[in-house]
Amino acid sequence: MGKKPMQDENEQWTARDEALWTTAELAVLTMRGQLGQRQHLPVPFALRLGGPEERIVAHGGFQLLSWHAPGDGSYAHSHGMMVATGRGGLAMMAGFAAAQAIGNASRRRQAAEMAQPRWVPIDHGTVAVSNFGFYLHSPTGIHAWNWHGIHMASLVGPGQLSIDGVSENGPIKWILHSDWAELVFMLWASVCNPTHPQMTDRTWLPQDWMTKAMVHAMSNQGYPTHFAFQEVVRELR
């Protein structure tokens, strides 16, 4: 009797799939006005966005990228001089000057490159999502964001949320990488921008994942069940 073939890696139910399923369930509760009834997940820091009604509904890893220039275009220009005498002195001085010019040109080029804006990783840790906003818990501290602190947001890829807003230090332009990026977007849009195009056409929940979830629900004995999947799909239409 042959061995049962291993499930293809692309069909396995992963932590990412579980996060998207939980996001879909939380979207249904949000539509019903029942998100506050979700069981609170404990975290090691004090909540400060919603008072006694606030509860953490999900948490997991994140990486944060910021759109800015790492440098300002400045560089250290070498002005050193070399005085050589005797046979070959002029050649040595010319060689030194050429090497110095090459070094200055290289530093100038590197400084110009560093002055160009780009996506730069600035933080990583755990994101905790609540019904009032989210917290970024990292080696730099605990940073709380309520939904109204975000002025614009869009999903730019699987698990990638582009965020524009205003922090205590001024305007920010970030990309949040996390399995919970779709959840952050859905909850923010529900409160601040329910007519967001990605919200109204439900592209915040990837269609290929919906197909995978349906196959998983129909072919596995665990959760989500086929009935649970059908109920969520019906509510989200």
Dump pLDDT digits (tens) for 172-189: 999 999 999 999 999 999
Mean pLDDT for 207-233 is 89
Q: What is the pLDDT of residue 222?
A: 82
Q: What is the pLDDT of residue 213?
A: 92
Asked if residues 30 and 190 have their Cβ atoms less than 8 Å apart, the reply is yes
| Sequence-separated contacts (24+) of 35-38 with Cβ below 8 Å | 35/131, 35/187, 36/131, 38/131
Indicate whether 1 pLDDT > 60: no
Return d(Cα 152, Cα 207) in angstroms, integer.
Answer: 23
3-class secondary structure for the chain? CCCCCCCCHHHCCCHHHHHHHHHHHHHHHHHHCCHHHCCCCCCCCCCCCCHHHCCEEEEEEEEEEEEECCCCCCCCCCCCCCCCCCCCHHHHHHHHHHHHHHHHHHHHHHHHHHCCCEEEEEEEEEEEEECCEEEEEECCEEEEEEHHHEEEEEEEECCEEEEEEEECCEEEEEEEECCCHHHHHHHHHHHHCCCCHHHHCCCCCCHHHHHHHHHHHHHCCCCCCHHHHHHHHHHHC
Using the structure block, give the residue that is written with the tokens 């070399």. Answer: 82
Domain boundaries, the chain: 9-69+117-236, 73-116
Q: What is the pLDDT of residue 4?
A: 42
Dump pLDDT digits (tens) for 100-115: 666 666 666 665 565 5
Residue 2 pLDDT grade (very low, low, confident, very high; cuts 50, 70, 90): very low
Residue 141 pLDDT grade (very low, low, confident, very high; cuts 50, 70, 90): very high
Return d(Cα 24, Cα 182) in angstroms, integer.
Answer: 9
Q: What mean pLDDT, rounded, does the chain reach?
A: 85
According to CATH, the topology of domain 9-69+117-236 is PH-domain like (2.30.29)
Return d(Cα 100, Cα 85) in angstroms, integer.
Answer: 19
What residues have CB less than 8 Å from 68, skipping those under 6 apart? 117, 118, 120, 173
Q: What pTM value is reported for the model?
A: 0.78
Instruction: Report which of 10, 18, 26, 19 is spatially closest to residue 187, judged by C-alpha positions.
Output: 26
Dump pLDDT digits (tens) for 66-101: 986 665 656 565 665 544 455 555 666 566 566 666
Q: Is the peptide bond before 197 cis (omega within 30 degrees of 0)?
A: no
Mean pLDDT for 28-46 is 94
Q: What is the pLDDT of residue 90?
A: 60
Q: What is the pLDDT of residue 77?
A: 56
